[in-house]
Amino acid sequence: MTNPFAITLDVGSSRANHTGSWRVERPVYVDRLPPCNDACPAGENIQGWLYEAESGNYEAAWHMLVEDNPLPAIMGRVCFHPCETACNRVQVDEAVGINAVERFLGDLAVEKGWALPEPGPDTGKRILVVGAGPAGLSATYHLRRLGHHVRLVDSAPRLGGMLRYGIPAYRLPRAVLDAEIARIVAMGVEIQLEHVVHDVEQERRDGMFDAVFLAVGAQLGKRVDIPAGDSSRVIDAVSFLHQVADDDAPLLGRRVVVYGGGDTAFDAARTARRLGATDAVIVYRRNRERMGASGEELEQALGEGVTVRWLSTVSKFDGDRIMLEKMKLNEEGFPEPTGEFEQLDADSLVLALGQDTDLSLLEHANDVNVRDGAVEVLDSMMASPSGIFAGGDAVPAQRTATVAIGHGKRAAHGIDDFVMGRSAEAKVRHELASFELLNTWYYADAPRTERPELERVRRQTNFEEVIGGLTQDNALFEARRCMSCGNCFECDNCFGVCPDNAVIKLGENMRYQFDYDFCKGCGICVKECPCGAIVMVPEHN
Amino acid sequence: MTSQRVHFYQVGSFAVGNRLLNEDERTVQAQSDRTNSIDSGHRACQGCGEALGARYALDAAMRATNGQIVAVNATGCLEVFSTPYPETSWRIPWLHSLFGNAPAVATGVAAALRAKGNKDVRVVAQAGDGGTVDIGFGCLSGMFERNDDVLFICYDNEGYMNTGVQRSAATPPAARTATTEAVGPEPGNNFGQGKDLPRIAMAHDIPYVATATVADLHDLERKVERAMELRGARYLHILVPCPLGWGSASDETIHIARLATESGLFPVFEAEHGVVTSVSHIRRPVPVEQYLSLQRRFAHLFGANPRPDVIAHLQSMADENIARYGLLQPEMEQSS
């Protein structure tokens, strides 16, 4: 007798019973596109680098960040962060402070001296990049990584374009700008400053370039005809900010009126306050809801003593007075004159009415289409089949530094395909990880960490940075508020909640696998996955 | 002694595990080397709450005792779906006798171990609500009264599910079962006195009584661990939703258990020597409708001829629980 006393039956394991055959639907692990990544104009993998930051792997996080955007410390300050607007956490408590974490990583990289990836192996291809603003710098970086030779030319004496000559130092300290630009230059870039390209075709022939990227920006402040007794007291905002950046600030007097309602108007008014203006008044023809600048910027400006006259236009600037005409919005939301006037004391008038692009360098480039003052481009940023690409403010798009950085990256890949004679690969985008796919029960309640602001009184007299950075603790906290929408973050929920032990844990960073021999297809794992990274799909046959 | 949630992690201590948590803050179920006391291939329905609850509790007991337990099982779903001849799903020593005598058999096992001088091997008895509140009730009360060294676990799915969904003394009022049909002026189970076994157990003044659900794994495991620290008669009552008997979708099992506690219908607490020592506060309060409307056994309260009066009655039962155990947060969100 082989069995123990009183045991007459052999015991078999229930593992012989493959309950997977009951299944009509099977769970499958997926990765979905988080809304932050979807919204990022620079194409960053935000969820990806936050995941690294959550574990305190800041260097890995930064390396993942600069895969797409070589200027995180800059963008952590000036980006208008559409990622945070799109963030699913808005519907739980508040958006994750992505921009603040980006800045923390960017600053840490500068502090620790982390290097950008090495340039790629030399391809022998020569690319001309015209304009060293965010689009040109981003294209240069990505082209170097692909192994192409880059000549970067700019008309200004220093690199940075609008980052340097348009954005005031209290929003973007020059040391940060210089440090991030220097990292790109260190990849080996041929630089030509104070060089104006008059004819792009000629320039291309002379330098034997295989392709050209035009990132000339929008440098010309729009003027309107305002009867002015003394035109020397009228300046456009672009020139004003440029001169301030050159340490050659014009004398505007004590009462400065800024005409316009975009970011540039606010930059100009806040800069005027810092240069000693007692009154900095923004005159805008629409109302607050229709203003182009961000609400954040308005709040900061008001806090610094800038005032705003909504629904007003400047009709005359005479002597020491500006004549304002009151406006009202019609049914379509357009401002209409009312015929009512009022006066405002002013020493000078700054026009911030938008910017135009100087595209005279394209005069001989016959196959480039220019419409409404912007270069028409394909998805690859290609403007002409002969190999001219364009991006940034010179093409029809939202005019922000982040969009420009995205253009630079896309153009670099477009140029790479062009010079290497490849056809572009269609990019597969994952399905969006929308809020309904999440199970937010599992996320701890954690309100957002705000960045410190410089005391108001100190903001009115100097160009010290207004918004501070996060400490390491705060940045870690903020990163860990990320819900990792649509991408497994190894919370073990599926592994734990399966009544049939049909989830196999593969170990750290290797996620999980279903054991379809035993999975009955109940779907609990899908329902209890916090981040929506599992779907049920029908079984065939 | 309210348990403290770990804050400021992506999922805090709500999820099963999390790479960001310290090892000792992760659950037994997050470990690749957990016992899996009840193995794959068992014949429980899709989304069975009882199979899940049994693994949660027994794996936790295995960790707490260093793998030294004997389990005694009453007749019921758990016994039937885990051991059809010639297979067994049990990866621990496991014993089945009759429907009503599991507490007595467990007492005997504990006595035998004591007689052999074995203090390390611990005894866990388990049954469904039928085997606990109805058929095994006399034996169980005796086991409590003698304070035998057994942890008795009731997996409460609120009816005799294995035999075709008949009413038990743990079936909630108004629920439709095969023996309490949804017909007549008072459809479904009657609003009787109820038979609240955790409170009956507390009345025995035994060392430990606790309730738990499959929706809060951390809490469940902590309670099993606490129970195994103590000697004498201990009672753990775990709510395990039953997709078949409750008429709920198989993927809703955990969600429904969560709604049972968040609505106040199933209070989660623990008591030592007859005194409540901690309660799990409601995190996101919901009306009972949210819980009821996901289950076809309550479908007659909704739809074409809704019964708001019956729903209100059930809501008042939830409100009484909330008041009796103090289930609402002292302040809505703990600030620590």
Cis check for the bond before B86: say yes or no (omega within 30 of 0). Answer: yes
Residue in chain B nearest A521 by alpha carbon = B46
B19 has a chain A CB within 8 A of its CB: yes
Report the pLDDT value the prediction gives residue A101, as an integer from 0 to 100: 95
- Give me the residue from B30, B82, B253 closest to A492, CB to CB: B30
Q: Are A409 and A434 in contact (CB under 8 A)?
A: no
What is the C-alpha to C-alpha distance for residues A63 and A69, in angstroms, rounded to an integer?
Answer: 10
Which tokens is A485 given? 């929408």
Question: What integer best gives the mean pLDDT of chain B?
Answer: 93
In the structure, what pLDDT confidence band is assigned to residue A320 with cuts at 50, 70 and 90?
confident
pLDDT reading at B192 higher than 80: yes
Interface of A with B in 138-197 (CB under 8 A): none
Q: Kindly state the average pLDDT of the residues A74-83.
A: 95
- Give me the residue from A19, A495, A522 closest to B30, CB to CB: A495
Q: Are B48 and B59 in contact (CB under 8 A)?
A: no
Which tokens is B8 given? 């400021």
β-strands A255-259, A348-351: how paired?
A: parallel
Distances (CA, A) of B309 to A94, B174, B185, B313: 39, 11, 12, 6
In the structure, what pLDDT confidence band is assigned to residue A474 with cuts at 50, 70 and 90?
confident
Contacts across the A-B interface (CB distance below 8 Å): 165
Q: Are B47 and A523 in contact (CB under 8 A)?
A: yes
In the structure, what pLDDT confidence band is assigned to residue B11 with cuts at 50, 70 and 90?
low
| Strand partners of residue B179 | none
Q: Mind listing the pLDDT tens digit for each residue in A16-42?
A: 999 999 999 999 999 999 999 999 999
Report the pLDDT value the prediction gives residue B261, as an integer from 0 to 100: 98
Q: Kindly state the average pLDDT of the residues A294-303.
A: 88
Q: Which of A488, A491, A535 to mutate to test the interface with B (most CBs of B within 10 A)?
A: A491
pLDDT reading at B8 higher than 60: no
What are chain A's domains? Answer: 18-31+488-538 (3.30.70.20), 36-114+440-479 (1.10.1060.10), 126-219+357-419 (3.50.50.60), 250-352 (3.50.50.60)
Q: What ipTM goes with this model?
A: 0.94
A508 has a chain B CB within 8 A of its CB: yes
- Give me the residue from A14, A507, A518 closest to B87, CB to CB: A14
Are the Cβ atoms of B46 and A520 closer than 8 angstroms?
Answer: yes
Q: Which of B46, B280, B331 to mutate to test the interface with A (most CBs of A within 10 A)?
A: B46
Are the Cβ atoms of A499 and B49 closer than 8 angstroms?
Answer: yes
Residue numbers in B near A17 (CB within 8 A): 41-43, 87
B33 has a chain A CB within 8 A of its CB: no
A47 has a chain B CB within 8 A of its CB: no
Q: Mind listing the pLDDT tens digit for each residue in A139-178?
A: 999 999 999 999 999 999 999 999 999 999 999 999 999 9
Residue type for position B130: G
Are the Cβ atoms of A492 and B16 closer than 8 angstroms?
Answer: yes
Q: Mind listing the pLDDT tens digit for each residue in B136-163?
A: 999 999 999 999 999 999 999 999 999 9
Q: Which of A11, A473, A485, A501 to mutate to test the interface with B (most CBs of B within 10 A)?
A: A501
Residue in chain A nearest B5 by alpha carbon = A444
What is the C-alpha to C-alpha distance for residues A442 and A335, in angstroms, rounded to an integer?
Answer: 49
As a whole-number percent, the residues of chain A with pLDDT over 90 amount to 75
Phi-psi region of B224 (alpha: psi -120 to 50; beta: other; left: phi over 0): alpha
Report the pLDDT value the prediction gives residue B108, as an integer from 0 to 100: 98
In the structure, what pLDDT confidence band is assigned to residue B9 with cuts at 50, 70 and 90?
low
Q: In sequence order, what DSSP letters do the residues of A182-231 get, joined into one string?
A: HHHHTTT-EEE-S---S-HHHHHHHHT-SEEEE-----EE------BS-G
User: Comparing C-alpha atoms, which of A496, A56, A482, A55 is closest to residue B19?
Assistant: A55
In the structure, what pLDDT confidence band is assigned to residue A319 with cuts at 50, 70 and 90?
confident
Residue numbers in B near A532 (CB within 8 A): none
pTM score, whole prediction: 0.89
- Give me the residue from B11, B55, B255 closest to A444, CB to CB: B11
- Identify the helix (H) or strand (E) that includes residue B71: strand B69-73
- Identify the helix (H) or strand (E) that includes residue A128: strand A126-130
Alpha helices, DSSP H, located in B209-330: 217-229, 243-246, 253-262, 288-292, 308-325
Q: What is the DSSP letter of B79?
A: H
Q: Kindly state the average pLDDT of the residues A514-531.
A: 97
β-strands A370-371, A374-375: how paired?
A: antiparallel
- Give me the residue from B10, B36, B254 closest to A484, CB to CB: B10
Q: Are A423 and A403 in contact (CB under 8 A)?
A: no
Residue in chain B nearest A10 by alpha carbon = B86
Residue located via tokens 């800038």: A306
Are the Cβ atoms of A496 and B10 closer than 8 angstroms?
Answer: no
Q: Mind listing the pLDDT tens digit for each residue in A353-378?
A: 999 999 999 988 889 999 988 999 99
User: Comparing C-alpha atoms, which of B164, B98, B170 is closest to residue B133?
Assistant: B170
pLDDT reading at A275 higher than 70: yes
As a whole-number percent, the residues of chain B with pLDDT over 90 amount to 88
Report the pLDDT value the prediction gives residue A11, as an integer from 0 to 100: 76
B25 has a chain A CB within 8 A of its CB: no
What is the C-alpha to C-alpha distance for residues A530 and A523, in angstroms, rounded to an integer?
Answer: 14
In the structure, what pLDDT confidence band is assigned to residue B6 with cuts at 50, 70 and 90?
very low
User: Is it true that domain B23-325 has CATH number 3.40.50.970?
Assistant: yes
Residue in chain B nearest A53 by alpha carbon = B20
Report the pLDDT value the prediction gives residue A318, as an integer from 0 to 100: 82
Residue numbers in A near B80 (CB within 8 A): none
In the structure, what pLDDT confidence band is assigned to residue A466 with cuts at 50, 70 and 90?
confident
Residue located via tokens 């709604």: B259
As a whole-number percent, the residues of chain A with pLDDT over 70 amount to 99
Are the Cβ atoms of A442 and B44 closer than 8 angstroms?
Answer: no
Number of other residues whose CB lies within 10 A of the CB of residue B290? 14
Are the Cβ atoms of B32 and A507 closer than 8 angstroms?
Answer: yes
- Give me the residue from B8, B20, B40 closest to A500, CB to CB: B40
Residue numbers in B near A13 (CB within 8 A): 39, 41, 87-89
Report the first-to-last Cα separation within chain B, whole angstroms.
15
B18 has a chain A CB within 8 A of its CB: yes
Interface of B with A in 213-242 (CB under 8 A): 217
Q: Mind listing the pLDDT tens digit for each residue in B61-115?
A: 999 999 999 999 999 999 999 999 889 999 999 999 999 999 999 999 999 999 9
Are the Cβ atoms of B46 and A521 closer than 8 angstroms?
Answer: yes
Which tokens is B27 given? 């659950």
| Cα dihedral sign, B151-B152-B155-B156 | negative
Q: Report the alpha-carbon angle A312-A318-A321, nearest 5.
A: 60
Residue numbers in B near A484 (CB within 8 A): 10
Q: Kindly state the average pLDDT of the residues B208-235.
A: 97
| Cα dihedral sign, B152-B156-B158-B161 | negative
Residue numbers in B near A493 (CB within 8 A): 15-17
User: Comparing C-alpha atoms, which of B178, B131, B129, B125 is closest to residue B153?
Assistant: B125
Domain ranges of chain B: 23-325
Residue numbers in B near A515 (CB within 8 A): 40
A94 exposure class (CB count in 10 Å sphere: 0-12, 13-18, 19+): middle
Residue numbers in B near A523 (CB within 8 A): 47, 249-251
- Give me the residue from B6, B17, B46 closest to A491, CB to CB: B17
User: Comparing C-alpha atoms, which of B10, B22, B122, B116 is closest to residue B65?
Assistant: B122
Report the pLDDT value the prediction gives residue B331, as an integer from 0 to 100: 64
* Phi, psi of A463, rounded to the nearest 5 degrees: -105, 25
Residue in chain A nearest B218 by alpha carbon = A496
| Strand partners of residue A388 | A212, A384
Interface of B with A in 110-169 (CB under 8 A): none
In the structure, what pLDDT confidence band is assigned to residue A306 with cuts at 50, 70 and 90?
very high
Residue located via tokens 């969006």: A432
B104 SS3 class: helix
C-alpha torsion B73→B75→B79→B81, nearest 10? -170
β-strands A211-214, A388-390: how paired?
A: parallel
Residues sharing a CB contact under 8 Å with residue A473, sequence separation 6 or more, in sequence order: none
In the structure, what pLDDT confidence band is assigned to residue A233 with cuts at 50, 70 and 90?
confident
Report the first-to-last Cα separation within chain A, whole angstroms.
47
Q: What is the DSSP letter of B2?
A: P
Q: In sequence order, what DSSP letters do the residues of B135-195 get, joined into one string?
A: TTHHHHHHHHHTT-SEEEEEEE-SSBTTTT-B--TTSPTT---SSS-S-SSS-SS------
C-alpha torsion A187→A188→A193→A197, nearest 10? -100
As a whole-number percent, the residues of chain B with pLDDT over 70 amount to 94
Are the Cβ atoms of B85 and A9 closer than 8 angstroms?
Answer: yes
Q: In sequence order, what DSSP letters do the residues of A382-446 get, joined into one string?
A: EEETTTEEE-GGGSSS---HHHHHHHHHHHHHHHHHHHTT-PPPPPPPPPB--GGG--GGGSPP-
Q: Kindly state the average pLDDT of the residues A447-463.
A: 74
Residue numbers in A near B86 (CB within 8 A): 9-12
Are the Cβ atoms of A14 and B49 closer than 8 angstroms?
Answer: no
B82 has a chain A CB within 8 A of its CB: yes
